[in-house]
Amino acid sequence: MKTTDTPPAGTTGEGAPVTKSAPAPGPREKATEGRTLNIFSHGMLVLWAFMVVMPLLWAVMTSFKTDKDIFSSPWALPDTLHFDNWSRAWTSANMSDYFLNTVIVVGCSLLGTMLLGSMAAYVLARFEFPGNRFIYFLFIGGMSFPVILALVPLFYVMQNLSLLNTLPGLVLVYIAYSLPFTVFFMTSFFRTLPTSVAEAAFVDGASHTRTFFQVMLPMAKPGLISITIFNFLGQWNQYLLPTVLNTEPDRKVLTQGLVQLAVSQGYKGDWSGLFAGLVMAMLPVLAAYIVFQRQVVQGLTAGALK
């Protein structure tokens, strides 16, 4: 009579051990992990927002205080709003002239940067010709070149061109300073746009210039707004270049005016006027980001979504 041997527990019929896999996490465990991660990420965002927003609110609050209140109760709200701090910084400290110079320089340089940068990026992204990649990598190399290393030769170049201590010279320098990142960003953005629309425009008899300005630029609006905001932030807050290339008192920009306002006080210490001037310089940048924040996010994610 034949007997059938039963394999021991944990082995197969051939005697090979059976490996027991860990049970997969259930829906409840996954929900708990997702909730924990969500709480942690939101907590970090709240902490970061607090660290960023509180100094800005404190500067705005301090700009309406007197010098005595700034040192006696720095964290308390002002008893009364002293708008004379703003008027004093605007008139006596020549902040109005500095503000106007900054608007002129940044406005003209933004226009030139976006026009030249978008045109160069469109050609590099859409047309194949000998030296295309070489020119593209030249722009990329401009992003990695520290500006401080070019200050001395740039000073003598501007002096030889009779553009030293002039607003047009500062505009040209700002354009050259912002072009590498603009071309890099817009080249990647133009490559994500569909070619069928441009081809349809060519079939209808549109020239390259008309196709670029009437077809491709409107399609690249999210990217244009995003890079314009980044260039605006960098050019508005620029201090090193105007300090070296623009030393005339009547042609100084806002960042130079703030430094001059802080230094010229001496032992007097007009801190309320200084904070008022600081908030004046901060408001345009903050307003531009608040108004165009949605377009900035759309421009940064458009390439990934396409």
Q: Which CATH number does the domain housing residue 301 bear?
A: 1.10.3720.10
Give the mean model confidence (pLDDT) for residues 124-142: 90
* 32 within some domain: no
Q: How far is CA 133 from the centre of its chain?
A: 26
108: domain range? 95-305
* 88 within some domain: no
Whether this prediction's pTM lies above 0.85 is answered by: no
Highest mean pLDDT among 32-41, 113-122, 205-214, 250-259: 113-122
* Listed range (91-95, 192-196, 246-250, 299-303) with the worst mean pLDDT: 299-303
pLDDT digits (tens, 9 = 90+) for 146-173: 888 889 999 999 999 999 999 999 999 9
More confident residue, 161 or 271: 161
Q: CB under 8 Å to 25, separation ≥6 — which residues? A: 33
Give the mean model confidence (pLDDT) for residues 202-215: 87
Residue 39's pLDDT band, with cuts at 50, 70 and 90, is: confident
pLDDT value at residue 33: 67
Residue 182's pLDDT band, with cuts at 50, 70 and 90, is: very high
* 38 within some domain: no
* 54 within some domain: no
pLDDT value at residue 70: 85
Q: Which amino acid is at 9?
A: A
Q: Check: CB of residue 220 under 8 Å from CB of residue 186.
A: yes
The percentage of the chain sitting over the pLDDT mark of 90, rounded to a whole number, equals 25
SS3 12: coil
Alpha helices (H) along 144-238? 151-160, 167-192, 195-203, 208-211, 217-219, 221-236
* 241 within some domain: yes
pLDDT digits (tens, 9 = 90+) for 278-295: 888 888 888 887 887 777
Q: Check: CB of residue 223 under 8 Å from CB of residue 185.
A: yes
Alpha helices (H) along the chain? 27-62, 67-72, 84-91, 95-126, 132-143, 151-160, 167-192, 195-203, 208-211, 217-219, 221-236, 240-245, 254-264, 271-305
* 47 within some domain: no
Q: Check: CB of residue 86 under 8 Å from CB of residue 276.
A: yes
In total, how many domains does the chain have? 1
The continuous run of DSSP H or E covering 206 comes out as none
* 53 within some domain: no
